[in-house]
Amino acid sequence: MSIFVEADAQFFARLKAALSPGTPSLDPPADLRPAGVLVPLCERNGEVMVVLARRTERVPHHKGQVCFPGGSQDPGDADLCATALREAEEELGIRGESVELLGAMEPVPTVTGFFIQPYVVRLVGEASFSLDEFEMAEVFEVPLSVFAEEDRYRCAESTFLGNNYKVYFLDYGPHTIWGATAKILHRLAELARGVSPPLTLFLPPA
């Protein structure tokens, strides 16, 4: 059964305190491209919701996958937070002035060659979206509490950077959430509950 996560000021203050105020100081492994993603949270009927999107089949990477808005850093981006904010506006119409930055999570490497830096934000006011029709097929919201339900997750073994690596999957309605997105959401649910495993949780063993 899902545990209701109340969207009150105390919750967001606790989550902000659990996040890094800046980018965690972990350098990307060789051959992985730095990328920034926005993890948007909003309030719906008093509950904390996570905003997710599904990519179209036309994009070059991660076709049809559930994802956060984000992408690779452009030369004009001041940092990966600027990258995530720019991509969120381009892909979902989330403007910088409509978000409150809560903080950064530790980076997550992907088998597709990215080193993803997540930034958690709170959407201020009523959430509304304008999708880039080439990149995004849909946007939807999921209660944050769903990602704290351990029995929802499935796991597959893979090899990454020469080591064994676990890939997680979770079903929600018609959607399968997996890979880096599932890892980020699982970790976010842990942070919301005050669980603080080491940063190496997201990296293949050395």
All domains of the chain in start order, with CATH = 9-150+180-194 (3.90.79.10)
Calculate mean pLDDT across residues 160-183: 87
Q: What is the pLDDT of residue 127?
A: 76
- For residues 183 and 49, give the distance between their C-alpha atoms in angstroms, rounded to a whole number: 17
Determine contact, residues 27/174, Cβ cutoff 8 Å: no
Angle at 19 between CA 100 and CA 5, to 5 degrees: 75
Q: Write out pLDDT tens, residues 112-135.
A: 888 999 999 999 988 789 999 999
pLDDT over 70 for what percent of the chain?
A: 90
Query: What is residue 195's predicted lDDT score, i.e. its pLDDT?
Result: 67
The residue among 17, 190, 161 whose CA lies nearest residue 102 is 17
The sign of the CA dihedral 124, 127, 128, 132 is positive
Specify the pTM. Answer: 0.89
- 114-123 and 33-44: which strand pairing? parallel
